[in-house]
């Protein structure tokens, strides 16, 4: 199973999202071709209701602890409640461009 598929499966299992997007953005960074190290995660779940942004990030980090401990270098997280998702027109912001700093670059 790919890292992306593992992330999707774990978030689906624990958060039962109304909407989930896991986008491999590794190609936007200074990593070898085919890498799975940088992801944008948009997850819309009722489980975020009443939680501030930090608590939402902590929950996702807990769910993905195994991947964050090794394979995944960066997550751009966009955790929303259904109401927030609809208020934003069903979109997450684009990720910023990479500023380098990878060990893959000499």
Tell me: the pLDDT tens digits for 22-48?
A: 998 876 666 666 667 678 999 999 999
Residues sharing a CB contact under 8 Å with residue 7, sequence separation 6 or more, in sequence order? 22, 39, 41, 64, 67, 72
Query: Under CATH, to which class is 3-87 assigned?
Result: alpha beta
Note the pLDDT of residue 105. 46
Cα–Cα distance for residue pair 12/93, rounded to 1 Å: 21
The token duo for 57 is 């990030």
Give the domain ranges of the chain: 3-87
What's the pTM?
0.81
């Amino acid at each position: 199973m790919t890292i992306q598929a593992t992330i999707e499966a774990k978030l689906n299992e624990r958060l039962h999202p109304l909407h989930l997007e896991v986008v491999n953005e590794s190609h936007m960074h200074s990593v070898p071709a085919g890498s799975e190290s940088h992801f944008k995660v948009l997850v819309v779940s009722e489980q975020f209701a009443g939680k501030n942004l930090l608590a939402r990030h902590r929950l996702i980090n807990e769910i993905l602890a195994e991947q964050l401990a090794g394979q995944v270098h960066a997550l751009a997280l966009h955790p929303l409640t259904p109401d927030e998702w609809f208020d934003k027109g069903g979109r997450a912001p684009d990720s910023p461009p990479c500023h380098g700093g990878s060990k893959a670059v000499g």
